[in-house]
Amino acid sequence: MDGKVKAELPKDPARGVRITESNLGKTLKKILPRRVERKPYQIFAWMATILLFFGATCNALNIYPLNIWVMISANLMHLTVGLLWREPSIIGLNIGMTGIYFIGALNIS
């Protein structure tokens, strides 16, 4: 040995293969997906997210009662996306958030 320590990446426990600098590219091609799969209705989800940011800004600036109606709309949009994607966590979160803001809307008067 010439005194230099050769750095090796850790062993990949899923495959039992020692990953080195020479086979890193091949290993990453096997592990990583070739392309990112987009979910349907992605544009609708992003529109809801932008509306949610606008509603959060209205909350931060205390723009009342616009903040409540914007947040109800954004959460209903996200609820719709959750139903289309069949994602229980998104559905539950947005049912709760819509209910909370709806109670706030009832207290406006």
Q: What are the sequence ranges of the domains in the chain?
A: 1-37, 42-106
Instruction: Give the span between the Cα atoms of 53 and 71, in whole angstroms.
Output: 9
Q: Exposed/middle/buried for 56, CB within 10 Å: 0-12, 13-18, 19+?
A: middle
Q: What is the pLDDT of residue 37?
A: 75
Give the type of residue at 71.
M
Higher pLDDT, 24 or 49: 49
Q: What is the pLDDT of residue 87?
A: 94
Q: How far from each other are the two terminal CA atoms of the chain, in whole angstroms?
A: 82
Flag whether pLDDT at 103 surpasses 80: yes
Flag whether pLDDT at 29 surpasses 90: no
Higher pLDDT, 70 or 10: 70
State the chain's maximal CA–CA distance in angstroms.
82
pTM of the model: 0.65
Two tokens, residue 13: 């426990």
The average confidence (pLDDT) of the chain is 83
